[in-house]
Structures are given as structure tokens and as C-alpha cells.
Structure 1
């Protein structure tokens, strides 16, 4: 999973940008809403400890402020949140260069199950020879790989004999099990040639009630915080016992370290953040968890993986100021502004982004404008102002009390998300009628959106 720097765009989208100089001074403390202790919603990301690690790229000076219109035709997109990864399968490996060996596969539900024999490497001919050196016995000790291969080919519509006559190799063997083969301990006998080449054995049990699930506590985890992955095990039968093993893989998918899985209240957690430090590489890490045990007297083996972002935060949003309307000389509202105070522990170019929403007649929040502001900041407390052009908001013809949503802080030097508050701390702007908003300068991009009817909510 990656967290790329996000630029706001409209369809065809020209950006209204102004180079404004350097960061403004701190705002009045009495007007600020602090993020400390704020209740987080689904998909929020909030760093705890900050680290003094200067960025070396993408940190040129100069404050840039951007406003862009949004199409209100679609409701505000739901915030990104961690997904739950579920697995009714497992994978066993025979490393290249191994001696002949035997693998035991606990098959708790053979109905419609699959066993896939996957030779290592990229040489199809060597893989075909290795597969001839592998046999599988069912729970009764009867050889089952030949009939299971026929069943697999029939299920997939593969004419194995025709492929063989045409000289087409099959380096992956698909074995389909059935209820008659019985549940229990299957054996895969890996001969010398197969063991030397290396082999992966994947078992899929779609009809089983035993399912392993992994859910990250957040999409972005930080060192020293209480970031974890919840490990769940569901089963229609009583679980007699289970043992969890968890290991981390780096962003280059190199096996790295073991992670403790502990019981916290009613659930098990892989304590990821406690196993990582600020010396670790930022990026998308993978957690692999294996659950081995028995349920209803039958052994099972499940393997699941999930990914999460890992970052070493050097800044966070400290507080958000009172939202205000900025009027021009003619008395029209020229902009809607809100100050965002950023606490930084290192030199970097930071970007604050936000979405302005209006509520339609049915009570649905709709995006009407987007803004971003970036600047090079050093260690200390700094104020960046999100400025939404009133004309962009007015294109939707929606009025009332506009609100701030999707408040985010990025590091452009590391291309990483540091802080996200989807509800924007509940910031609301003073109520204003659409007729009070200054008209937008119609650029070719905005003209295109108008022709497409992107701002027309009434059919």
C-alpha cells in the first residue's frame, strides 16, 4: 500500500495559484481549536511523537496557495480507511537447494478445495520436471494428486493432453480436492529434484468456516505510537487452541523481523509500532500472520497478509483557527479562509490541503472547492492559511454555512502523509448566501465543467 502526494484536480483542471512569499506568523491562540485530544474518525491519521529528521529533496522555498472548484454532483467521498484482509488459505515453502522432504497439509474442509504446486524460478522446463517429482497423499494415505489434477483441469477447462502434445509446459499444477477425499492430514512428498529447485504449496479452502482476518488500526503507522494490526479468527466450531506467528516485510518485501501477537482485552493484536523505530524505512510494509491450531478436533493452518503505511513524522497539525469570510472592496465575499497551525521538528516542504463542503436541500454534504497551501518550514510553529476562492464555491449555487472537511498534512520531502482529520475538527464558516459570493473567473477548464453540467444539481 503507497501514500503518494495528492494534487487537487478538476476535469481538465487549471489551478488558480499564487506565489505569495513566506509563511505567516502564528495566529491568535484564543481562536484556535487544538488537535490534541480530538476524537478521531474512521480513516484519520494522527502522529504522536515528532522526529527531527530534515528532508533533503523537494523542499525549495516559497509559499504557494491554490484554490480549485469541485463538482458537487457527487456526495463527499467516504474517507479512506483500513481494509480487513480475510484468508481461508495458507502457503508452505520448500526453499531452493533443500533436500527431499515431506509437507503436511491440514485439510479441514476438502469440499471444492485447491492445492497449487508452484515451482520456484522462471524456467518452465525445470518446473515441469520438478512437478514430476512431487506426489500428494490424502488423509487415508492414498495417492490423490493424479485424480486431483484431472479434476482441476476439468474445472478450469484445460485439455492437458492437448497441451502436452503441443509441447506446452505447465509449471503450475492445480489440484482440486473433493469431499470424498476426506478431511485430515494430507501429505505432499517433495523429491530431490523438486526440493533442489524449490517449491511453494498453496492451499485454498473456500468452503471452510475457519477464517483468519487482519485489520490495521490505521492506514499510516508511526514509531512509538500504539499502532497495531488486529488478528481475528472466526470458526463455526469451537477453537481448541491456536498459535499466532507474525513477521514483517520491508517495502522491498524482504523478510525483516518477528512481531509479538498479544491478547488485549477480547482480541489479539500484532504490536507493529512497538516493533519499529525511527530508523526504519518509510513506505508500505507488509505484515504476514500465520494461525496454526485445531477446531473441533481438526487441525488447521491459515496465512494472511496486510499492508500499511509507515512514516517517521516530523510535523503535525497543532490547531485550526476560526474560519472567516474575506470581503473585497465591493462588499462581495472574495474568499473563505482558515488558518492551520503546523508544529514542525525538522526542515521540510509541507503541504496542507482541505475540502470546502456545502449541505444541499436533502442534508447531503457536497464538495464545492478544494485548497492547498505549501511552504518550506523549519523546526517550530508556523501558520499556513487555506484560502478557498469564493467564486469557486459559488459555482454550485449552494449557500449556508460551509464546512471544512478532509484536512491533511503532507511532507513533500518524503512524499508522505503525516496527519489527516476527515472531519476537519468540525470547523464551520459564517453563513453566507450564494448571491454574496464574488463571481469566479471563468477559465477554459471551468467553462468545460460548466458545459458538462458539473455544477448543476437540479436536473
Structure 2
């Protein structure tokens, strides 16, 4: 008996889901050849992996730059916790000899005005146990001065004098304070954003002391890692939000964009500086999964089940070759869901509403000897023309097929790959 279609419009999103907002009428230029292709593949009955969710990036460091071609300058380095802190000087460019000369043209002084770079460089080398040859052997080809600070050097504003040779070459200065309690944490609101759908990066500053005069700034970088535009930051309760969606439109390119968050302020009378970056996907969707259902068991002439099918309705506003994929899961004796088969169907679709049917080979489903009521998980809609994910529903709208015994399933059609997996006992349910 066929079930009814379930609409995705009112379905709450679960962890790791991706849902497009408004659709855009735009044809893909590549990868849109006609022809329906439907494929089913067996899988080893492993538990489903946890869905991917936005990652929280944490930082107790910052990064300062002296652009190549600059004049001699002096940088201020805010050191709140010198215990085990590091200052790393990284010359720009690829000429090792020029970079070594540049490093000799740099001097660091602690908050009391005492020269600190000579001892810090010696302590850094001792801590790493690595000389230049070893660093080169480990793939660190650019000259890097590793300056290790300590408690005796004291907290406060250090001075880094960058001479004319070093300034001409350019310099990146990274400050790491692993023992500090002041931590910047940033988390994208979603792994993927689209035009006209709210998206932001949540910013939190943790500390065991009160923070004052806090300033948070955010900058957007293109998929080519080019500094692009400023992102407005608002405060919501105790957290800050870099409102990415306010500065992006459907004219922006599809790909992986980067947000850099810079936070400064004062803690216990000491200036602090923190910097971190995070990434998110950006797409301009032309299609979505509108509904899913009519799940059914397809039987052959003898009454045995040869396939499990479910219809996926795709709403499109542009010509493209779309791919729908899904995973069939069974429940083991301990109540754990295990993948038993995967299916995909692709076709060239124009603007309109279209039905694509996911067809799971019953023989593949039966290899793990797990019967019962199979369920659909990991439902995705992918654009082959733009090479991007448009829609992902990890729970698959909780589609569940009519219960069936393993004995009712047809035997799989053997292929060399399948025979190899069977010889390797790949379909055994392991704890």
C-alpha cells in the first residue's frame, strides 16, 4: 500500500540539515546532459555517522601583518599571559636568504623596555628541539623565528621594531597565548548559506575576568581567499553576531567563503587581541526537495520483493542535471540503525515540478540479514551543473517502508565487486 507524500515545507531541520530559501531562475551551463540514471549500491552495515554540523573554532591567538614594501615601523604586541606564550615572525616571500636578513632586522622588547627576542629565540629553539635543518626536513621551508615567552618577562604591551629590510620584505607576526583564559569562539549558524536566508557567525568571548571596551570586527573573504568586504556585527544578549547574510546577494559566487573575526578589548587592565577564521558554503539554489513519500515494496512475479522505492518530488526553477541520493537503513537487535544500501537517481530537469524515484535493490538490502521496517536517511539534492549541494535532510522526513522479512527479499545479482565484498565478510553486522 502506497503512503502519502510528506511536504518538506513545515519539516523542522535537524542537526546537519541544509535547506534552501528562495529559489532562483537560473540555468546551469555545464553538466546538464539528458538521460535518467538510477543506481543502487550495497553498503557494509555500519552505524550511520553523526551528521556534520557547524564547527566551533577557538582562538587564544592573533595575527599582525607588515605589508611587503612598507617603511620601517614598530608594532605593539598585547601579551596578557606570557606563560608559555609564543611570538612567531614569518617573513613573506620565497627567497630564504632575503628572509633571513629580514629576521635579523627585527627586535622585540618586553613591557619594561628590555630586549627580549634573543632569549626568547633561544628558549624557543630549546623547547622545539629543532634547528634549521630539522625544520626543513619537517617541511617548514620558510624562515620562521619562534620566540617563546615566559612568566618572568611579564605581561603588558611588548614592542616589535621592524627595520627597513624586514619591512620591505613584509612580515606576519603571530601571537599565541595557550595559558590565557581569554578565548575567542566563533560558530557559523549553518554550514551553508543562500541569498535572502538569515545567516551569521556567532561570536563569544570567554574569560575568567571581566572584559571591558570590547570591539568585534568581521571581514569576508571570497572563495579565492581575497579580502572582500566588512561584515556588520551586532550584539545579541551576551554574544556577538557577524551578520554575513546582510552583505551577500545572489550575485555572489558559489563556493566556500571565509569570515575572519577580530576581537580586542581590555582584561584586568591589560589589552587583549584575538583573531580567528571560519568557513561556510554559499550557494544560489535553483531547486529544492518539495516532498517525499509513496514508499513501497516492489514485488516480482513470484511475490518476492525486488526493490524498495520512494518518490522524491523536486521543485526546479532552472535547467540543470539534478541528483537525488538516499541511504536505506535497517535496525539491528540493539535498536541501532545501520546502512544497508544506497541509491541515487539523476536526470536533466527544467523549471517545474518533477518526480525522481529512489530505487533500492532488495538484494542489496538483504545482504546484512537485517529485516523489518527499513527507513530512509541521508536524503540529498545535488546540482551537477554547479557542483553544489542544495538540500539535505538527514532524517529523510522519517520515511519508513512496510515491514518485510529477509526471506521475502530476492537474492542480489552478483558482480565482481559484490563477490569480493562477500568474500571479505563485509556484510557481517559487527558490534
Match of 1:57 among 11, 30, 37: 30
Task: Quote how far apart the aligned CAs of 1:171 are.
Answer: 2.1
- 1:244 paired to 2:216: yes
Q: Within 1, Cα distance between the matches of 2:250 and 2:92?
A: 35
Distance of aligned partners of 1:191 and 1:394 in 2 relative to their CA distance in 1, 3 Å threshold = same
Match of 1:47 among 20, 25, 46: 20
Conservation of the 8 A alpha-carbon contact between 2:296 and 2:401: yes
Instruction: Show the counterpart of 1:76.
Output: 48
Instruction: Show the counterpart of 1:14.
Output: none
Instruction: Show the counterpart of 1:421.
Output: 393
- 1:391 paired to 2:351: no
Q: Deviations over 1:29-76 (max 9, x none)?
A: x9211111211111100011111111010000011000001110x211
Conservation of the 8 A alpha-carbon contact between 1:354 and 1:405: yes
Instruction: Show the counterpart of 1:412.
Output: 384
Conservation of the 8 A alpha-carbon contact between 1:322 and 1:427: no
Runs of 4+ aligned residues of structure 1 deviating over 3 Å after TM superposition are 158-163
- 1:145 paired to 2:113: no
How many residues are matched? 426
- 1:235 paired to 2:207: yes
Task: Quote how far apart the aligned CAs of 1:266 are.
Answer: 3.8
1:79-228 equivalences under 5 Å are: 79-159=51-131, 171-228=143-200
Q: Deviations over 1:413-455 (max 9, x none)?
A: 0100000000001111111111111111111111111111111
Q: Within 2, Cα distance between the matches of 1:437 and 1:408?
A: 26
User: Which consecutive unaligned segments of at least 5 residues does structure 1 have?
Assistant: 1-27, 164-168
Match of 1:319 among 247, 266, 291: 291
Distance of aligned partners of 1:405 and 1:159 in 2 relative to their CA distance in 1, 3 Å threshold = closer
Match of 2:334 among 362, 372, 375: 362
Instruction: Show the counterpart of 1:454.
Output: 426
Distance of aligned partners of 1:208 and 1:433 in 2 relative to their CA distance in 1, 3 Å threshold = same
TM-score normalised by L of structure 1: 0.90
Q: Within 2, Cα distance between the matches of 1:365 and 1:140?
A: 62
1:286-297 equivalences under 5 Å are: 286-297=258-269
Match of 2:250 among 261, 278, 299: 278
SS at match of 1:153: helix
Conservation of the 8 A alpha-carbon contact between 2:91 and 2:142: no
Conservation of the 8 A alpha-carbon contact between 1:220 and 1:309: yes
TM-score normalised by L of structure 2: 0.96
1:255-270 equivalences under 5 Å are: 255-270=227-242
Task: Quote how far apart the aligned CAs of 1:267 are.
Answer: 2.2
Conservation of the 8 A alpha-carbon contact between 1:116 and 1:174: yes
Conservation of the 8 A alpha-carbon contact between 1:120 and 1:198: yes
SS at match of 1:321: strand
Structure 1 stretch 31-40 or stretch 177-186: which is displaced more? 31-40
Q: Within 2, Cα distance between the matches of 1:368 and 1:290?
A: 46
Task: Quote how far apart the aligned CAs of 1:322 are.
Answer: 2.5
